[in-house]
Each structure stands twice: as C-alpha cells, then as structure tokens.
Amino acid sequence: MDAFICAGMMIIGRGISRGCIGARTTCLPGWAGVASSRRRNRHRVESSARRPFGKRLERFGVEQGMALIKDEAVVLRRLDFSESSQVLAVFTRAHGQQRVIAKGVKRATRQRASVGIDLLERGDIVFSQRPGGEERLSPLTEWRQLDHYPHLRADLARYYAGLYAGEAVAMLTEAHDPHVGLFDGLRKYLADLSSDEPGLLLARFLWLLLTEIGLQPELSVCTSCRRLVTEDRVLYFSSRSGGAICRDCEPASIEKFQLSVGATKITRGGPTDARGVRAALTMLDYHITEILGRPLRAARSMHATVVKSVSGGG
Ligand SMILES: [Zn+2]
C-alpha cells in the first residue's frame, strides 16, 4: 500500500486521509486530508512552506529560520533513536546524502502498529535544514513511500545485494554531494533486482558507483608500466595503484590481489559467465575494502549469499 508518514503522526494510504494517530498527537498545519496525487502534495509543501512559523512545528524539531527541502530519497541506514524515533541516512537525488531524525515515526496506538521507515525504501521526503547547519541532524517532517521493493525482503541474496549497495553508497559518497546519475542508477538497480541476476546487477552497480565518485580502477593497461594488459597472462590488481598490475611489475607492488579470469570484463558492461561475475564482485569488494580501510559490514553476508548464488558457466 502506498503509505504516507507525516513524522509518524499521520498515515495516508491510497489517497485517503486516515487522520492523526493518537489522541494527543497533532498533524503539521496544512497536512490533514492531503490528496494522493504528487501534484497536490507538491502544492501542499509549497503552501505549508509559506505559512507563518507555528509552535506545532517544534514537535518535529523544526526551528524558526529552517528551510523545508523536498526531494526523492532511498534509505541507506537506519538507527533506532529512543522508543519512537529513528535516525536515518538517506541518499537524495538532488541533495546527496542526508542524515535526518524522524521523531515519533515508530509511535503506535491500540489501533495501529508502526515499525517506522525501513531500509532500502524509496520515497518522497521533506526535511528541514537551517542554512549553515548541514552538519546537524535534519528533522524529517514528511515521508511518502514510493516503493518498498518487496522482492528484496523475500530473497536473501537480493536483500544482501541491496544492503551491500546501500552501505557502499553511504560510505563512499559525501554528505550534501549530489550524484543524480548514481541516484537514478540505484533506483533502477533496486527495481531490477526483482528479476535479474543479483550478482551481475551488483557488479554493474558498484562499477557505476566507483565511476561516479572517480575511483573506478584502470583495467585496460598496467597502472605501473602502462602496457596493455590481457587476461591471457596472470594479472594482479592493486587498489592503491588504481587498477591492474602486469606480471612484470607485480613484484614491486606490496598491496596486490591476483585477479581471476573474467574480472576485467566489468569495463565492457559486465561479464556474462558465472566465473567472471564472481571474479568481478570479488575484485570490486577488495577495492572498496582497501579504499575504506575495512570491509563493509554487509560484505561477509554478500559473499555468502550473492556470490554463492551466481550459478552456471563454472
Ligand atoms: Zn606493468
């Protein structure tokens, strides 16, 4: 169901106002009876943004002088904060990564249970931010769920493929640094996980991520002697050198990793055989681990599910 959460206090499904949750809670002014159409929602945002500052906004942590920002976002990280609130790291399309606090989002009543906002959800978001206060948590004032990606919750390999990608985006992109192409790629990737091979999709997405942030490895020439390399010979990979290392230059490189056959096909749209997909995923995970100085928390589960799920063709 299409759900709309107004800082945990009002939920609207299928365009029908369900009213406030709890007798003592109050919706933001101007939000009761919001229609389902995005056009009307956008109008509501503009209308409420023009309204004089009210004491009710303080319930959400909004202070006078804060601007209301609307965007589309994917939830990358979620941390429970008190019994009823959450701190979220979201990747927005036009404003990059943002950290928001959703006060009261998990508040439930006798009539309605609330689990808050889930990982890897995509939705329309409105949060407030004080100019110059980008380092502080931004109060979330609205969240309208656009896609819950239920196929991720039904398959372990697809779920960890999504989690790994989300954590990689969270760790490798800077706050307030927008990457529109990466956001669109993440949205397509999460949708494509419903049908396509998660291993190949993850390898392609990680390549897109590394390309967007300027850390994609060089795999066509040796990064030391600049000679063209082929997988006919034993090939190494060095994250610090920024890519492939040929057999002749390998002894001089301390940090290195022997590539399996097929890994370099990721530069040409991705390997099509299972061995190549596994090799590409292993190489990209190694590269990300070296960049961060530690493995991603989802790395072990990704290897145990996504890499193992790659089947066929050896
Ligand atoms: Zn070389």
Residue range 13-70, pLDDT digits in tens:
333 233 333 322 223 333 333 333 344 444 343 333 444 445 555 666 666 667 899 9
Residue 104 to residues 31, 46, 50, 198: CA-CA distances in angstroms? 16, 23, 24, 35
> Which of 121, 148, 175 is the last residue before a domain boundary?
148
Confidence check on the interface: ipTM exceeds 0.95, yes or no: yes
Q: Are residues 16 and 124 in the same domain?
A: yes
Q: CATH code at 200?
A: 1.20.1440.120
How far does the centroid of ligand 1 lie from the alpha carbon of residue 150, in Å? Answer: 47
Res 57: pLDDT: 59
Q: How far is the CA of 279 from the centre of ligand 1 (A)?
A: 21
In tens, the pLDDT along 236-246 reads 999 999 999 99
Ligand 1 centroid vs 253 CA: distance in angstroms? Answer: 10
- Give pLDDT, residue 15: 32
What's the pLDDT score for residue 81?
Answer: 83
In a domain, 281, yes or no: yes
CA 294–ligand 1 middle distance (angstroms): 27
Is the residue at 258 inside a domain?
Answer: yes
What pLDDT sits at residue 54?
A: 52
Residues of the chain with pLDDT > 90, as a percent, come to 59
* Residue 314 counted as domain residue: no
Ligand 1 centroid – CA 206 distance (Å): 25
User: 117 is in which domain, residue-wise?
Assistant: 3-148
Regarding whether 117 and 206 lie in a shared domain, the answer is no
Q: What is the pLDDT of residue 17?
A: 32
Among 98, 124, 148, give the residue marking a domain's end.
148
With b for 16 or more beta-carbon neighbours within 10 A and e for fewer, the 298-313 pattern comes to: bbebbbebbbebbeee
Task: Give me Rg for the CA atoms of the chain.
Answer: 23
pLDDT of residue 39: 41
End-to-end CA distance of the chain: 41
Q: How many domains is the chain partitioned into structurally?
A: 2
**SS3 sequence of the chain:** CCEEECCCCEEEECCEEEEECCCCCCCCCCCCCCCCCHHHHHHHHHHHHHCCCCHHHHHHCCCCCCEEEEEEEEEEEEEEECCCEEEEEEEECCCEEEEEEECCCCCCCCCCCCCCCCCCCEEEEEEEECCCCCCCCEEEEEEEEEECCHHHHCCHHHHHHHHHHHHHHHHHCCECCCCHHHHHHHHHHHHHCCCCCHHHHHHHHHHHHHHHCCCCCECCECCCCCCECCCCCCCEEECCCCEEECCCCHHHCCCCEECCCCHHHHHHCCCCCHHHHHHHHHHHHHHHHHHHCCCCCCHHHHHHHHHHHCCCCC
- What local confidence, expressed as pLDDT, does residue 18 receive? 32
Q: How far does the centroid of ligand 1 lie from the alpha carbon of residue 216, in Å?
A: 18
Spans of the chain, pLDDT less than 50: 1-3, 6-53, 313-314
The one-letter amino acid at 308: K
Q: How far is the CA of 96 from the centre of ligand 1 (A)?
A: 38
CA-CA distance, 144 to 139, in Å (whole number)?
15
Q: What are phi and psi of 4, to 5 degrees?
A: -130, 120
Question: How far, in Å, is the centroid of ligand 1 from the Cα of 158?
Answer: 37
In the prediction, which pLDDT does 6 show? 47
Task: Report how far ligand 1's centroid is from the alpha carbon of 26 (Å).
Answer: 66
Distance 282 CA to ligand 1 centre (A): 22
CATH code for the domain of 144: 2.40.50.140
